[in-house]
Amino acid sequence: MQNCQAEIARALHVAAPFRDEAELAADIARRITFIQTTLQESALKTLVLGISGGVDSSLAGRLAQLAVEGLRAQSGDHRYRFIAVRLPYQHQQDEADAQLALKFIRADEESTVNIATSVASLCQEIGQLDSLSATRADFVHGNIKARMRMLAQYAIANATDGLVIGTDHAAEAVMGFFTKFGDGACDLAPLSGLVKGQVRAMVCYLGAPTALADKTPTADLEELSPGKPDEMAYGISYADIDAFLHCQPVSAAVFACITRSYAASAHKRQLPKTPCR
């Protein structure tokens, strides 16, 4: 079991557990530098990220803001900036959490794009949705929401000479818990390799309110199960996933769940297949 765990952890570039606060701080600094280097190498000036009110986008957003502030200080170029984008579908039930996240991030610019009308218009044009069961249609509809949100972020990035930041990390990657070409699409993923506990530790270190750091994660894409926790969808906890990725002992049931999800979602972590060798 542990050999398989180690192989998956290597493939996902899982970060080792932080031994102390100094290592945590050093990894935060490394990720901020990564964001800065990526933006400079692109010759662009703007970073764009959708803010949901969850811990992942809260951390990625704060790292992005610190990165552009550092670039402005280092270069004297005040064109570097970060745009935090709210992307609600109709009325978001946890809007208060999203506003709390924005207050924590302190972005240079905030923008809101309600995706409801665009999603509804697209769904009306897709006849194949009509024959689906309510549950299946709700699942497809949820993926459309995720892809519409990414479309909006890329439109803003195009309009402002920017790059789109993603929030994927190792705990979601191993479970394939992201929409292909939706929230899985981005230009840079600064949280890559982190487990969920490390994300929480980082956002706490940076001064996020406890309500954000400890918030129950949810993709909140399904209208038939609003606010459905990620862990309910998984059938296991993030603590289980973190332990697996850090090659710690896990139960046979947890091992089977994670390895099954990892294999089934392999296509999400790969580039499109081509006939070229």
Residue by residue, DSSP assigns 89-130 as: SSS-TTHHHHHHHHHHH--SEEEE---HHHHHHHHHH-GGGT
Q: What is the pTM of this model?
A: 0.95
Unique residue bearing structure tokens 């800065």: 36
Give the residue ranges of the chain where pLDDT is below 70.
Answer: none
Is-contact 146 221, C-beta < 8 A?
Answer: yes
**Known catalytic residue at 56:** yes
Q: What pLDDT, on the 0 to 100 scale, is given for residue 92? A: 85
- The SS3 assignment for 2 reads helix
Phi, psi at 276, each rounded to 5°: -75, 145
From the candidates 168, 172, 183, 187, give the one annotated as an active-site residue. 172
**Known catalytic residue at 172:** yes
Q: How far is it, in rounded angstroms, from Cα 232 to Cα 262?
A: 17
Per-residue pLDDT tens digits for 246-274: 999 999 999 999 999 999 999 999 989 99
Q: What pLDDT, on the 0 to 100 scale, is given for residue 2? A: 79
Beta bridge partners of 188: 165
Per-residue pLDDT tens digits for 17-29: 999 999 999 999 9
DSSP class of 229: B
From the candidates 56, 168, 183, 187, give the one annotated as an active-site residue. 56
Greatest distance between any 2 Cα atoms in the chain: 57
Domains of the chain, each with CATH number or no CATH: 15-229 (3.40.50.620)
If phi over 0 gives left and psi between -120 and 50 gives alpha, with beta otherwise, what is residue 258? alpha
